[in-house]
């Protein structure tokens, strides 16, 4: 019986969530603030509109042009509110995918959907700074532990975002190849120094400032991909140009192969 990633992975996940929380709070506070202030304008406008309409009714004449202006304003506000609500839902949805604890079962999963959810959360890490390119291929459902894979994607995406100083690009590519699903995450960041290549999967190895990196992300990533999914994780990197990590997951988990 295969062990599900628990102790280390669980602790690490809590740490990452902790770090992301401040940014998530900001992501939610901004659209929530805009909804609140819109709501005040809405309430005032509805009062004014009500008065205009009841005056018009009393005088038995058509509603004045002002009423139509107010209606237009209300419509615009509703549009802004919708965008703000969508933004909040997207962040919360990503968070739910990532933070869900129950798991344990292999599940046939659409990896493109799983990536889309994870990207919503990762977007918090590099919004406005990093351009995201999605190049998703047709994918069969993959038998996997979706929760754990979401953690793999988030680790790789956060690393990609952190490797970019200033502005850059992260590309997420999915392909189905000969019974395998390949997920490739490329960045236009600093690249990995040749002398670090052999060490990046070592527990505790980090080149990031204290408090930012624990050096566990890739250890857990490898554990989930290789030990729990019988997949592979490889990378190519060119210092100064960027890095690509490839995770390959068998479409059918070996446990269920006849
Ligand atoms: N996309 C990347 N580009 C450049 N260097 C990378 C990339 N991904 C990983 N590395 C290097 O590998 C090291 C180990 O990565 P890992 O994710 O295990 O830990 P970390 O990111 O430093 O810290 P943590 O993930 O625990 O917050 C990083 O410190 C960095 O030097
Ligand atoms: Mg990391």
**The predicted structure's pLDDT at residue 122:** 82
How far away, in angstroms, is 212 Cα from ligand 2 center?
9
Q: Is the pTM of this model over 0.85?
A: no
HEC letters along 130-168: EEEEEEECCCCCEEECHHHHHHHHHHHHHHHHHHCCCCE
Which two structure tokens, joined as six digits, stand for 229? 């999914």
Q: Work out the percent of the chain whose per-residue pLDDT is above 90.
A: 42
**Which of 168, 196, 200 most suits a substitution to test ligand 1, by most atoms within 8 Å of the C-beta?**
200
Closest ligand relative to 18 C-alpha: 1
CB of 45 closer than 8 Å to CB of 17: no
170, 124, 114: which is closest to 145 by C-alpha?
114
The pLDDT score that the predictor gives to residue 91 is 79
Low-confidence ranges of the chain (pLDDT < 50): 1-5
Fold of 7-20+105-256: Heat Shock Protein 90 (3.30.565)
Q: What is the pLDDT of residue 2?
A: 46
Task: Give, using CA atoms, the residue closest to atom 19 of ligand 1.
Answer: 215
What pLDDT shows up at residue 29?
Answer: 82
* Per-residue pLDDT, 100: 59
pLDDT at 190: 97
Q: How far apart are CA 43 and CA 180, in angstroms?
A: 55
Give the per-residue pLDDT at 231: 97
CB 182 within 8 A of CB 248: yes
The domain spans of the chain are 7-20+105-256, 21-96
């Amino acid at each position: 019986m295969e062990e599900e990633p628990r102790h280390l992975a669980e602790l690490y996940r809590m740490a990452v969530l902790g770090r992301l929380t401040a940014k998530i709070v900001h992501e939610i506070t901004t659209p929530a603030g805009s909804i609140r202030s819109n709501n005040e304008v809405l309430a005032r406008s509805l009062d004014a509109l009500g008065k205009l309409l009841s005056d018009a009714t009393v005088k038995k004449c058509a509603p004045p042009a002002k009423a139509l202006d107010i209606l237009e304003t209300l419509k615009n506000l509703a549009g802004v509110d919708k965008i703000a609500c969508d933004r909040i839902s997207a962040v919360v949805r990503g968070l739910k995918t990532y933070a869900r604890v129950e798991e344990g079962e292999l599940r046939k999963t659409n990896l493109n959907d799983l990536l889309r959810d994870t990207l919503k959360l990762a977007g918090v890490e590099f919004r406005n700074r990093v351009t995201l390119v999605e190049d998703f291929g047709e994918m069969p459902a993959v038998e996997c532990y979706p929760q754990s894979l979401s953690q793999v994607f988030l680790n790789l995406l956060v690393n990609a975002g952190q490797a970019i100083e200033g502005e850059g690009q992260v590309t997420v590519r999915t392909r189905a190849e000969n019974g395998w699903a390949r997920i490739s995450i490329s960045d236009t960041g600093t690249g990995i120094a040749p002398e670090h290549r052999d060490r990046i999967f070592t527990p505790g190895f980090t080149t990031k400032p204290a408090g930012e990196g624990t050096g566990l992300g890739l250890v857990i990533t490898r554990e989930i991909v290789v030990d729990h999914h019988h997949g592979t994780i490889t990378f190519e990197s060119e210092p100064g140009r960027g890095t690509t990590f490839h995770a390959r997951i068998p479409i059918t988990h070996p446990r269920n192969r006849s």
